[in-house]
Amino acid sequence: MSVRRWLIQPTTDIAYERKLVRLVNKFFLASTVEEWIRLIGSEVSPIKKKMGEMVLCFHSAYFGPRQYCLKGKRLFERTAKNFWPKTSNSGPLSKQESLYLANELGRPFYNIFAIPLNSSYELEDQPPVLFVEYFCKTQTIENFFSEEKQEILRSTFSKVLLEEHWKSGSDLWQETFDGLKEPLAILDEDKKPIRSNTHFQKIYNKNPSLFLKDHFQDEEKQYEKHSYSIINNNHNYTVEHFTNVTSYLLLREQIAQNQKMSALGKLANDVAHLLSNPLTGIRSMAQILSEESREKDNFLEIEKAAHRCQKIITNFIQFSRQTNKDLTCDLNKVVHQTLPFLKTMIQTKKILLNLEEEKIMVQAEPCLLQQVIFNLVRNALQAVGDKGQVCMKTNIDTSTNQVQLSVQDNGCGIPEHLQEKIFSPFFTTKSEGTGLGLRISYQVIKKFGGQLKVQSKAGEGSCFTFSLPLAR
C-alpha cells in the first residue's frame, strides 16, 4: 500500500481499523511520557521527511510546566519558560502563535500543527498540547493525524500522565518517609509492615521482634512506640512511629541524680552541723587530758580519730555539692577524698595506690570528677572477688600536657563484643544496673576536654583510663 493511500484510507476500512487497534495496544503499553512521545516518532516514519520537530507541552504536578522535544531520534526534556498558547481544537497555528516555540527554543518554526490532549491532570485553562512542525500541505498532516488517532493519543496520554503522577507522588511520599530520622511504618491487620521508611527496614531486618515491644534499644538509641489506627475501605491499619527518647531519658536520669545529690547535700549540712560541735569538744578534751594524763598516747589517738571524722564530714559535703565555681583541682586529693566512701566494699579487698607524689592540678570540677572516680572504683570492686585487687595509678604526659588516671582490676573482665557498648546509654550487664553510670562518667570527662577508654580481657580483668588536661 502506498503512503498516499494509507493516509486517505477511509475509517470503515477493516485494515485501517486493525491499524487503529494495533496503535491502541502499542500506546497503552507506554508507562512514561518519554516512551509515549518516542512511539509517536516511530509512527510518523512514513512522512518523517515532511516533518520537523515535535514539542510536547504539559504541566507536571510536581515539576511545573515541562516540554519534551523530539527531532528524529534526539529527545530532550526542558522546563518551559512560559505557558504555551491555549488551544481547544486541533489544527495549524497562526504565525503569531508560532512565535511561542520560536522564543522558547531559540529558532524559527515553519508550520505548526497543534493537537490538544485535554488530560484530566491539566492545569486550569492550560491543557497539554502536542505541537508538530511540518513542511507539507496542511491536508496531509491532518489526514495523518486523523480524529481517531488523536483520540487514541489523548486517552493514552492521560493514562501515561496518570501513572507518572502516581509514581512521582509515591516517590515523593517515600522520600518524605525516608527523610524522617526515626522508624515509621504502616502495618496491616496481621501486624505486618506494608509500607515503611529505611530506618524501620534497617532495624526490622536485624530483629523483627523488637517492634512488638513498647520500648526497645538499638545500638546507642532508645525508642518508644506510638501507635495510631486508621480505617480505609473497612480495613484497619496501624501507623507506628518509634520516637528516639535517648536524650530525654538521659536528661531525666541526670535530673534524678541532681535531686539525689541535692538531698544528700542537705543531709550532709545537717550532719555537719550536728556533729561539728561535739567532735570539736572531743578533740579539745582529748588534747587537755593528753597533757595531764599518763595515757597521753591514747588520748592523742582519740584526738586524731575525731579529726578524721571531721575530715570525712568535710569530704562528704564536697562530694554532695552540685556546682563548684572552681574548675581546677588536685587529682590526687580527689582520689583520697573519694576512697573513704567505698570503705565498706574495700574491707575484704585490696586497693593499691600508685599516684604521683606531687600535686596534679587538672582542669575539672572537683565534685563531678569525684563522682567519676567513685563510679570507676565501685565498678572495679564489684568486678573482683572477695580477695580481689584494684590498682589506681596516675601518669603525667608532658608531651600532650595531660594526666592519665587508670583504675585496673583483676576481676571477670568484659567480653570483646561488649566493649564497644559499655559507654552506650542504658547498656548494663548487671541485673540491677541502669546502664547510665559509665555513660555519665564518659560525658563528664568529655565535658572537661578528656577521654575515657577501656581495655579488658574476659577472665583476666579490666582497666579504665581517663585523661584530663593539666591546669594552666
> pLDDT, tens digit, for every residue of 180-224?
778 888 888 888 888 888 888 888 888 888 777 887 777 777 888
CB 153 within 8 Å of CB 27? yes
For residue 392 the three cell numbers come to 589506681
- Tens-place pLDDT, residues 280-303: 778 777 777 777 776 777 777 787
What pLDDT score was predicted for residue 131?
Answer: 93
CB 426 within 8 Å of CB 249? yes
Lowest mean pLDDT across 17-21, 116-120, 313-317, 387-391: 313-317
Residue 337, pLDDT above cutoff 80 = yes
C-alpha 263/C-alpha 95 separation (Å) is 90
User: Which residues does residue 466 pair with via DSSP β-bridges, in sequence order?
Assistant: 405, 452
What pLDDT score was predicted for residue 4?
Answer: 42
- Tens-place pLDDT, residues 345-356: 777 788 889 888
Residue 87 has a CB neighbour count (10 Å cut-off) of 15
Residue 104, pLDDT above cutoff 80 = yes
Q: Tell me the pLDDT of the chain averaged across its residues.
A: 80
What pLDDT score was predicted for residue 87?
Answer: 81
